[in-house]
């Protein structure tokens, strides 16, 4: 397995306060294709680009070993709105 979801989770949780985190392996277990949803108050006041750059930088080593990495980053407030819209 190329990248372990546990590793991704540990790195993220170790770096910022996490309200909610979903890591989905979309590669049928080969560890090459991940999508994450990350909700953190630390994203408050940051643009999407800045948030993604932050996460990209945290997971630099891991992303280099994947084929695809997709992320959604929300503040707790934005996540509530997102859930309400998709309910």
Task: Decide: is 52 part of the binding site for other proteins (CB under 8 A).
Answer: yes
- The answer to whether the CB of 9 falls within 8 A of the CB of 20 is no
What are the angstrom distances between the C-alpha of 8 and each of 78, 80, 82, 86? 23, 24, 23, 26
Stretch that binds other proteins, among 5-13, 16-24, 44-52 (CB under 8 A): 44-52
Smallest gap from residue 78 Cβ to other proteins (A): 11
Q: Can you tell me which of 20, 60, 77, 81 binds other proteins, judged by CB under 8 A?
A: 60
User: Tokens for 80?
Assistant: 């509530």
Q: Which residues bind other proteins (CB under 8 A)?
A: 2, 30, 48-49, 52-53, 56, 60, 63-64, 68-72
């Amino acid at each position: 397995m190329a990248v372990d979801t546990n590793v991704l989770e540990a790195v993220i949780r170790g770096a910022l306060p996490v309200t909610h985190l979903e890591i989905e392996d979309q590669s049928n277990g080969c560890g090459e294709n991940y999508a994450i949803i990350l909700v953190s108050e630390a994203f408050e006041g940051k643009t999407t680009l800045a948030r993604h750059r932050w996460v990209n930088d945290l997971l630099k080593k891991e992303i280099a070993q994947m084929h695809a990495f997709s992320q959604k980053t929300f503040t707790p407030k934005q996540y509530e709105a997102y859930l309400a819209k998709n309910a």
